[in-house]
Amino acid sequence: MQNSSQIFSLPENDARVSSTWEKFLSGDSCGSDALRRLIDDSWRRCQTADVDPERDKAPPPLGEDSLQRLLEEHDELLSAGTPVMAHARQFLDETGTVMVLTTNAGVILNLEGDPSTSAAAAERIRMLPGSSWSEAACGTNAIGTALAIGQPVQIHSAEHYCAGIKRWTCSATVVRDPYDNSILGVVDVSGLNSTYNRHSLALVVTTASRIESRLARREMELRYRLLDLCISRLGGSTSDGVILLDRRGNPIKASDRAQAALTSLSTNGRASTPIELSKLKIPASFKGDPRTNLPEWMSHDWLEPIVENGQKLGSILTVPNRSAPPTPRRVESVSVKNSCAKNTSFERVIGQSPKLLEAIGCAQRLAKSTVPILLLGETGVGKDVFAHAIHGTGALPDAPFVALNCGAFSRELLTSELFGYAEGAFTGARRGGMVGKIEAASGGTLFLDEIGEMPMDLQPHFLRVLEDGAIFRLGENKARKVSFRLVAATNRDLRKDVAEGRFRMDLYYRIAVAAINVPPLRERSEDIPAIADYFLEKLAKQHGIPRPALDDEALELLRRCDWPGNVRELRNALERAMLMSSDVVLTKESLPPEIQKLGALNPPAPARANSRIEAKSLEQVEKEAIVAMIDRQKGNMTAVARELGIAKSTLYVKLKKFDVALQGPPHSTGEAHLGASGIAQDVGLPRDTASPVQPASSRGL
């Protein structure tokens, strides 16, 4: 991963870069701190490839027939990219720039943008569908260079290798297959020099991410259709092993006898080594017949393509558990069934609010795939419950589920926990070494909580594991193959961390193929009665006491609380109330004092719902009461919180909510002061304390 000094162009260096280019072409040493390393590397690749530095346009575009075949070959990339690019059109209007989508060879498939640019200057350099903009064709340019390095990049003005393209500025990044991370194409924004803008790179990164999300969603939809068509075939009474393969040849479901049938192949000598179902891979192209380039132990008659309306969805592999292979059954076209078995893995996720049901539905759809999932949400919302449910819903729910909190260890300990180590790797290393969490999760699910806390220098090593499917234990030089489904979770805004250099962009887009927002408890207060009932039942059994009930007044108080600690805070409040009360009914007075006071500060639910104007008026009253109390206590926030009957942390949340800032020198007690004038400045309260986590669908640089 390049740092920002390598990714972004610096227009102020144009003259020095131009001088360096002339020296480079003349064979002189071109060392200059104005020339980025990636540009120097690209120029050398162009020189080696004999690219004409005087070229002023791309090679002629493909003919109509060849272009049509290319569009058909890349129809899935186009289908995913066209609507996303059309949505970006509004950002490009009147900017003098165009957005381009290319193949993985750099051939343009589609353009969107300012008509004046696409119709005039872009045509002059043959930035047209069917034109190739690889480095070998056009020298150093954002499209070709992004393909060469596999990362986002800006190329501005004199940094281009070919003289005729030096009037342009461009930003590009690759689009990767969310399934295997291979490069499918490039998204680029280009314009004349005057249109240079660093934000262009953020736009292409966001666009590429959205295209990848659409591709992932399409892949999952095809899998679900395949499962709908073929699930009944997996539960038959045959002794043969039946394995359902996706269109890429990867197993996604198997019958109970599948592994036994595969094992019998090595027993009877048909296969030279035992075949493991979890490592099975049948070479296949989702464009053609899957019964080509098969392993030597497999007969092509065992493989049955599943096709619907001319589209290949996958195939069924029937492995005979006897000497003679069965007569194959052919399926050319099948109708989709509208049946779906009940998913019980999400029963621990309690609630029926629309936002929660949306998150559950998204998780259920993603659970059957192997794409990495990023759970976004505040502390205490139950991201770990979602992770367990996703694992339990997967194709192999009995596989290992290994969890690790990245924020609970130092950098050194986290490295050992993740990767493991060999015997003698360091002083104090366990005898015989240790299996790391990644290796222990192979074949199952690795849940990394608080992934935003992973140290920066450890992130590229974890990214390499995700890309290569192999790890090296500390102190070993032998790679160990691993295969696991990654579920990560964070309460941080990783997009902001990426922009500020606290989290690697390439790792972010690798783990955030599919993101799920788990809503906070304050946004689903209608679920509180059901959650409270669940915890009361569970806690009563845990402590061996009779299960109490909640009266209506206590329940209403719970519904009115903001719950900054979310479900975890609610559980703790109920547990304390149960243990401190001997009554069979928990009343408002049974609840912890801070909960009583916090709930009392918020208006009752009916008052909130009466009208927008009334709700605003109530908030204004609350704000004025807090400001008046601060003035009365002369800025002593401890006294203010005590008089209002709330925790001091809750008071600061209220101040931030009402945009009441603090000013003046702190008192000796460390308290901030609010002047009577109400004109204040911020001291000590981080502005991003409660910043919401954004969905991956709006990702930027």
Three-state secondary-structure class, residue 217: helix
Expressed in percent and rounded to 5, the helix, strand and coil fractions of the chain are 45, 15, 40
Encoding tokens for residue 241?
């092993």
Listed residue (191, 186, 161) closest to 172, CA to CA: 186
Grade residue 661 by pLDDT with cuts at 50, 70 and 90.
Answer: low
- Asked if residue 139 lies in contact with residue 55, where contact means CB atoms within 8 angstroms, the answer is yes
Amino acid identity at 424 = G
Q: Per mean pLDDT, which range of 52-66, 545-559, 641-655 is the poorest?
A: 641-655
More confident site: 464 or 671: 464
pTM, two decimal places: 0.47
Write out the two tokens for 336.
């989709």
Are 466 and 486 in contact by the 8 Å Cβ rule? The answer is yes
DSSP codes joined into one string, 327-367 = PP---S--PPP-------TTTTS----HHHHHHHHHHHHHH
In angstroms, what is the C-alpha Rg of the chain?
30
Tell me which residue of 324, 153, 321 sits closest to 238, measured CA to CA: 321
Q: What's the pLDDT band for 615 if we cut at 50, 70, 90? A: very low
- Statement: residue 675 has pLDDT above 50: no
- The residues with which 316 forms a beta bridge, in sequence order, are 244, 304
Mean predicted confidence (pLDDT) in 645-671: 63
Higher pLDDT, 293 or 357: 357
Say if residue 686's pLDDT is above 70. no
Contact 388, 401 (CB under 8 A): yes
- 360: nearest Cα among 483, 227, 524: 524
What CA–CA distance (Å, rounded) separates 695 from 494?
10
**Predicted pLDDT at 569:** 87
3-state secondary structure of 447: strand
Taking residue 358's Cβ as centre, other Cβ atoms within 10 Å add up to: 13
Give the whole-angstrom CA distance, residue 110 versus residue 175: 14
Lowest mean pLDDT among 138-142, 276-280, 321-325, 572-576: 321-325
Q: Which residues contact 113 (CB under 8 A, 6 or more apart)?
A: 89, 92, 93, 95, 97, 98, 99, 189
Instruction: Give CA–CA dist 37/51, Å, rounded.
Output: 19
Q: What's the CA gap between 605 and 627, in Å, rounded?
A: 24
Which amino acid is located at 70 in the chain? L
Q: Residue 549 CB: number of other CB atoms within 10 A?
A: 14
Amino acid at 394: G
By residue count, the chain amounts to 701
Q: What is the 3-state secondary structure (H, E, C) of 247-273?
A: CCCCEEEECCCHHHHHHHHHHCCCCCC
The two most distant CA atoms of the chain are separated, in Å, by 92
Q: What is the pLDDT of residues 506-525, one digit of tens each?
A: 899 889 878 899 999 989 98
200 φ/ψ angles, rounded to the nearest 5 degrees: -60, -35
Main-chain phi, psi angles of 585, to 5 degrees:
-125, 125
Band of residue 287 on the pLDDT scale cut at 50, 70, 90: low
Residue type, 468: D
Return the pLDDT at 477: 85
290 confidence band (pLDDT: 50, 70, 90): low
pLDDT winner (highest mean) among 186-190, 194-198, 253-257, 378-382: 186-190
- Band (pLDDT 50/70/90 cuts) for residue 2 is low
CA 91 to chain centre: 24
Residue 647 sits at φ, ψ, to 5 deg, of -70, 150
Which residues are 550's β-sheet partners? Answer: 586
Q: Is 431 exposed, middle or buried (0-12, 13-18, 19+ CB in 10 A)?
A: exposed
> What are the CA-CA distances from residue 293 to residues 255, 287, 288 (Å)?
24, 14, 12
CA–CA gap between residue 397 and residue 257 (Å, rounded): 17
Model pLDDT, residue 13: 84
| Bridge partners, residue 192, by sequence | 168
- Domains belonging to the chain, first-starting first, are 4-211 (3.30.450.40), 236-319 (3.30.450), 354-519 (3.40.50.300), 522-602 (1.10.8.60), 616-701 (1.10.10)
Which residue's structure tokens are 């194409």? 185
Bridge partners, 515 (sequence order): 374
347-401 residue pLDDT tens: 778 888 889 988 998 888 888 778 899 999 998 898 999 998 898 887 565 688 8
pLDDT in the model for residue 302: 85
Please write the tens of the pLDDT for every residue from 35-55.
888 999 999 999 999 999 999
Cα 454 → chain centroid: 15
CA–CA separation, 46 and 43 (whole Å)? 5
The backbone region for 645, taken as left when phi is positive above 0, alpha when psi lies in -120 to 50, beta otherwise, is left
Mean pLDDT, range 625-632, rounded to an integer: 76
Distance CA 187, CA 99 (A): 7
Nearest residue to 77 (alpha-carbon basis) of 205, 174, 196: 174
Q: Please answer whether residues 377 and 370 qualify as being in contact, where contact means their C-beta atoms are separated by less than 8 angstroms.
A: no
pLDDT in tens, 70-85: 998 898 899 899 888 8
CA distance 449 to 296: 43
Percent of the chain exceeding pLDDT 90 equals: 24
Query: What secondary structure does DSSP assign to 520-545, as a single string?
Result: PGGG-GGGHHHHHHHHHHHHHHHHT-
Looking at residue 86, its pLDDT comes to 84
127 vs 506: CA distance, rounded Å: 28
pLDDT score for 343? 45
Dig out the tokens for 541 from the structure: 């059994």
User: What was the pLDDT predicted at 183?
Assistant: 94
Q: What is the pLDDT of residues 317-353, one digit of tens each?
A: 888 875 434 444 333 333 333 223 334 578 778 888 8
Check pLDDT > 60 for residue 618: no
